[in-house]
Every structure is written in structure tokens, then in C-alpha cells.
Structure 1
Amino acid sequence: MSTALAHLPSFRVTQPGPPPASDEGAQLDRALKDYLAHLSVERGLSANTVAAYRRDLVRYGAYLASAGRPGLAGVTEADVTGFVESVRRGADGGRPLSPSSTARALAAVRGWHKFAQAEGLAVDDPSAEVRAPTLLRRLPHALSVDDVAGLLDAAGAGDGPLPLRDRALLELLYATGARISEIVGLDVDGVSDSAAVRLLGKGSKERVVPVGSFARDALEAYLVRARPALVAAGRATPALFLNTRGARMSRQTAWAALQSAAARAGLKEHVSPHTLRHSFATHLLSGGADVRVVQELLGHASVTTTQIYTMVTPDALREVYAAAHPRAR
């Protein structure tokens, strides 16, 4: 059995050996373990993904058991709808879920019911028509161009190899719109062509992203004047960005470097590595870049994900209204 399934909790306390037929929830236990084994072994999902499904479905199974459903065959659409409402409000005794977490739980439930139908454990899929709560689309938070410039200047302030490293790191993040994991995962040969970098994104999908002159200059300064001193503290490594021990820089160290630069720049708002990714996309589109091009640069599988950056902000609406409407003033 997969490691992810080894400590699967039951919906109830049982004694060793097969549970009695009258024990409500026994069939649900077996059905859930079969489904999680299917996800782990046949579909090859990661242990973390299987654990996330397990958490949601254990809660769903407990809800069904309390409603007197011994197996998935007797579940109705009303049961699924009731569960969604229950977890949204926390009425089942668990913590209330946000709309996005509720939608995730419903997705897990749908997968389980679809599996049960395919395996002949149920005739119908009662979850097929149940709708998740409407999710409000929030605009990604982006810094202004001036704030980005102040942040990058602050990263390079000071003496020694670390300011050069941090300036190159943040310049490259903003220049490419890369995820932090993609940047810290770079090797030196990944930037051998100074005009572009090869990034390995989700699903091991590679993409080539151009690099502007500011990032190229910062990267060259780091490679010539800082990286040799850092690599001398450890063993030879192909990693591009190094920590003070000469090993590959971690995401946590990169995060700390960004936070330190944001504090020195006097930025009051929360800044994360993804903020620079959002800023990259927002500034490109504001400058007239095509959304399909930005999609490729970000490594999004679907243009729908990229299109959220095209949403007009309330401030932009007010500015256009004030400038264009004849009676706005």
C-alpha cells in the first residue's frame, strides 16, 4: 500500500478484523481506501495530493455516515448539496471553509463519485449537477513601476557578495516573471545565453524567456564579482544562486532576501516573490503586450489564467471616466 495511504483514518473507531455488516460507515471506509489507492497507484498522484483528497473525503464520509448512508450507492444530490453547505458554514463540527476551499472539497467529492460509478459501486453520480460557491475573481497584486525600481535598488545596497546576488535574483525574477522555484532551480548553464534563460516550469515544461539589459548587467556582476566568493565556501555546484555555505539557494532564503529589500525600500504593503511575477505580467500588458505572448512568458497552460491580468482595476476605471466623460468634473 502507498505511504500516503498507510495511516488512513477511518470515519469511526473499529476493532481489528472485518467490521460487522451493520456498522454504518464500513462500506464508506472501504470505498474511500479503494479510491485513494486508485489515485496513488493507478493515476500516480503525489503523496501531498492524495493527502489533500483524503482530508476532504474523510470529512465527506463522516457527513454521509452521520446521515445514515452506509455506502455511495444510496447518496443523493441533496446529500452532496447538504455537505457543501455544511462545510461552508462549519455545521458539521469542522472549520468553515472559504469558497475556494469548498470548491476544492466538492471537486474531491465529484472525483470519488465518478470513480464509484465507473467501478459499478453506484448507478448514478449524485454530484454531477451540484455547483460550487461562486468565486470572486481578485485582481493579482502588482507593484507600481516606481516601487519595483525602488525595491531592486534596495536589494543591491551594501557591500559584499550578497547584495550583488540579491540584486541579480530580484532583477531576474522581475525580468522574466518566473516563479521563485524556477529561479532558484536555475543552473549556471541555464543562463549561458545572456539574452534569455531556460526555465523549467510546472509539469517539467521548459520555456525560454528573454532577459532585459538591467537583469543581464546585474547577473553578470553577480557571476563575476560575487558567485566565486560564495562557491568557495562549499563544494562545486552547477547552481546559479548560492547561499552563504556555497550550496544552492533555497526558496526560503530567496524569500528572506526579498523581504529584506522590501523593508529597506520602505514598502509598506506585503511583497512576495509572486508579487514580482504579477508585476511583470501587469506591466507588460499595460505596455501593450499581447495576452497570448504573456501567457507563453508566464508558462500558463491556458490563456484563461493569464486573462485575469487584463481585468480593469477600480482606479483605472475612475481615471478613464474622469478623462473621458464630459460631465465627470
Structure 2
Amino acid sequence: MAKLKVGEACETKPLYEGLPAKFTQPRFVRTALHNPMNVLGVNDDIEAVGMWLRECGRNSPNTLQTYKREAEKLLVWASTVKGKGLGELTREDHLDFQEFLAAVPQDWIMARRFKRSNSGWRPFLSQPSASSIAHSVTILYGMMEYLTSSGWFLANPMPKPKSTIRKAWRPTRKALSRDLVQIMLDSTSEPQEGESPKDALTRMRDRWIVYFMVHMAPRVSETRSVGGSIRSEIVEGKTMWIWSLVGKGGREEELPVPAHVMSEFESFRLALGLPSLPGPNEEIPIFPSFKRMSKDGAYTDLSEQLTRNSIYKRITEHIAPRAKRLAEQRGVDASRLELVSPHWLRHTALTEILRRSGDLQVAKKLGRHRDINTTAGYTQTDLITLSNAMEE
């Protein structure tokens, strides 16, 4: 059986390739801590980490990427700061790493998102919050426990994360106002000067992306669905459209699709020259890539999906800046548009559904959360309602 490399598991560049010169390539070695009786059947640290990623991330690409990212931070730090490989880290080293996470040096943080091949790439996008650090430490402790229980390490040198008392809900307030959502939609509705047919279709796709995300509250990983995942069905005598998706942890879930969302979908499809509604076996993505489309809008294949990173870039580098310019023209504060991301649009959808329904359980169902406290953390309606009542 061929050994699984980290890069193969993640379908991205391996952890040990392509880092800017500032960072030392991670050391993957066997040390005295390694047990020759391990059950992983691997030869070195990188294969061991790859096996962990393969097992933990096999049901969720999102989990896979998150775990890879956290493992990489530790490995790059170990090689650059300590000059050590994973198996050479001591308990004190792991404590030092946690202190490092609490105050990441500025030169380890990207000014904006860069590709790995860019010299501006850094392991961090921002200073991690306390909750992010706790999440990172939990993931890495799980990795070290996995490598220990499987016999790769004789002992786990990493201190066990301390359990903390759950704090009261504090709204994250990442939702956009209705005015800003409308500005985002308006900015993608008007033809731009000198745009080609392909540019026009790209703009229409941008509008569809925003509309779908602010009404359906998908995780960005869930948007990689095909038209055939949206079907018509009669439920208790009512004809409705239902979106079947694969959610967090590989769970199969269903959401009703409102008529106004289907209307937007129809408009986008007709602009592409497709039937207004998807067929039951249709493989055309709901967010198709236009890589194979010519400037005049002609295409022979729409089967390729926009990647998660492409969706992120469309929102942050194209849609939001265009909306910001329109907001400034209208005299509207556009500062929040500088922070917008796919996750912000999910927050926006959950906040709006709670504002309309007044029912946290309804928002929980839309967000597909197991814990209602998670839903509460995405919304701010309770705070707004209390404020309005206190003003009366």
C-alpha cells in the first residue's frame, strides 16, 4: 500500500513545499520517541500526519482543510523557531507554542490573503482570538493523541487543553444590514461600462451568489452543489422546492428553497441559455465556473464548479469593493463591507430569519446547528429587541 502524503490527503501543496524563504521547511524525522511497533504502517512524521488527516477529514473537505492548516502552523513554528521536527517537541515547546498563538508576531500575519507561492504568504490571516486559540489547541492535542494511541509516539508531550466554563452568549454581530445587502445586490444588477458578454454573465453570477447566500445561509463548502440537488416535491399537499445538501461532518440535510430564491435561480439560468429549472439528474453546478467560457459568452462545458477559494475571492475582491463604491455614492457607511466574507453572508441570513420569525429554533434549523447556543452566537436580534424595548 502506497504511503499517504499530507499533500495527497489535502489535494493541496504538501506542508513541506513552497513556503516563503522567511520560514524553515518543516522537519519530518524519526526520533527516539517513535515506537517501532506503531500500527500506522508509515515511515516518518509526514506520513503519520497524513494518515491522521485522511482519517479525520475523510467526510468533510472543510474539516480536512482546517486540520491541515492548524497542523501546518505548529510544524512551521517548530522548524522556524525551535529548529525541531514534530517528534522532537517537548512539553515546554508546546507551552511555548501556545504562548506564541496568544501574541503572534506581525511578520507571521498576512496583510491580505496570498497564494502559497507569493512571498507575502504567512501562516496566519490575523491574530487568533481566544476561542480560535482554544480550537487550534484542541485540534492539535487530538492529533498528538492519535499519533500516541496508534503507537507513533510513546507518549504525548502536549499538555491536555483545560476545560473552561462556558461563557454567556456574546453576539458576534457579523451580519450586514438590509441596506448593505440591497446595495450588494444593486451593484451586481447594473451593466458596467465596456463589459463583455462574459463579464455580464459573471456579474449575474455574482448577484446569484449573494442572493443565494443571504437567504439560504450555506457554509461556503456546501455551495458546491449541482442543479439536480434542488428538486420539486409535494409536502403535505404543498408543492415546494427542496435543496438536498451535504452539510458539516458529511451529514445529508434538506432545506426548503423559497419561491423568490428559485426566481433568482431561474433568471441566472436563462441568462446562461439553460432551461429555467434544473432537471432531477442535472450535473451543472449552482455556482458554475466560467473558465471554459469565451469573451462573447459562448461555452461548451459548465460542469466545473467554482472552488471555495474562488467564491471567497468573488465576494471579497470583486463584489464587496464594487458594493462599497456604490454605497459611498449613496452616502451610506460602507465600512462593514471591507470585512464581508462568505461567513458574514451566512451570519446575515441567520440574523434575518430570526428577525422575521422571532424563533431561535427556526434559525437553528436554517443554520443546521446541533447546539442552539451556536445559533445564538450568529445572531443579534435579542440584543436589538432589548435595546428597542428599553428606548420605549
Instruction: Please state which band the TM-score falls in when normalised by the shorter chain.
Output: 0.5 to 0.7
**Inter-partner Cα distance in structure 2 for 1:276 and 1:47:** 21
Please identify, of 159-168 and 281-290, the stretch whose mean Cα deviation from structure 2 is larger: 159-168
CA deviations on 1:50-88 (whole Å, 9 max, x unpaired) are 46314315645888889xx9775xx4xx76545422443
**Inter-partner Cα distance in structure 1 for 2:391 and 2:268:** 46
Gaps in structure 1 of 5+ consecutive residues: 19-25, 231-235, 324-329
The answer to whether structure 1 residue 106 and structure 2 residue 145 are counterparts is no
Query: Which residue of structure 2 lines up, in the alignment, with residue 278 of structure 1?
Result: 347
Q: 1:290 to 1:59 in 2, by over 3 A?
A: same
Query: Which residue of structure 1 lines up, in the alignment, with residue 268 of structure 2?
Result: 222
CA deviations on 1:239-275 (whole Å, 9 max, x unpaired) are 3344551434525264366336524641613233333
Question: SS at the partner of 2:254?
Answer: strand
Q: Does the Cα contact within 8 Å between 1:155 and 1:170 map onto a contact in 2? A: no
Q: 1:198 to 1:294 in 2, by over 3 A?
A: same
Q: Does the Cα contact within 8 Å between 1:175 and 1:280 map onto a contact in 2? A: yes
The answer to whether structure 1 residue 39 and structure 2 residue 85 are counterparts is no
One-letter identity of the residue aligned with 1:213: A
CA deviations on 1:199-223 (whole Å, 9 max, x unpaired) are 3333333322222332222222233
Query: Which residue of structure 2 lines up, in the alignment, with residue 4 of structure 1?
Result: 6
Query: Which residue of structure 2 lines up, in the alignment, with residue 56 of structure 1?
Result: 74
**Inter-partner Cα distance in structure 1 for 2:143 and 2:225:** 38
Question: SS at the partner of 2:32?
Answer: helix
Aligned residues: 297
Query: Which residue of structure 2 lines up, in the alignment, with residue 191 of structure 1?
Result: 230
Query: Which residue of structure 1 lines up, in the alignment, with residue 19 of structure 2?
Result: none
> Which of 173, 176, 186 is 1:153 aligned to?
186
Larger Rg: 1
**Inter-partner Cα distance in structure 2 for 1:170 and 1:94:** 32
Q: 1:108 to 1:63 in 2, by over 3 A?
A: farther
Q: Does the Cα contact within 8 Å between 1:199 and 1:208 map onto a contact in 2? A: yes
More helix by share: 1
Give the TM-score taking structure 1 as reference length. Answer: 0.66
Q: 1:296 to 1:29 in 2, by over 3 A?
A: same
Q: CA deviation at 1:127?
A: 1.4
What is the identity percentage for the equivalent residue pairs of Structure 1 and Structure 2?
Answer: 20
| Paired residues for 1:86-125 under 5 Å | 86-89=100-103, 98=128, 99-100=130-131, 102-111=133-142, 113-115=144-146, 118=149, 119=151, 121-122=154-155
| Paired residues for 1:245-324 under 5 Å | 245=293, 246=299, 247=302, 248=304, 250-251=306-307, 252=310, 254-255=314-315, 258-259=319-320, 262-263=323-324, 265-266=326-327, 268=334, 269-270=336-337, 271-311=340-380, 318-323=387-392
**Inter-partner Cα distance in structure 1 for 2:265 and 2:137:** 46
Q: CA deviation at 1:287?
A: 2.1
Q: 1:243 to 1:322 in 2, by over 3 A?
A: same
Question: SS at the partner of 2:273?
Answer: helix
Q: Does the Cα contact within 8 Å between 2:244 and 2:252 map onto a contact in 1? A: yes
Q: Does the Cα contact within 8 Å between 1:87 and 1:94 map onto a contact in 2? A: no
Question: SS at the partner of 1:274?
Answer: helix
Q: Does the Cα contact within 8 Å between 1:81 and 1:130 map onto a contact in 2? A: no
Query: CA-atom RMSD, angstroms?
Result: 4.6
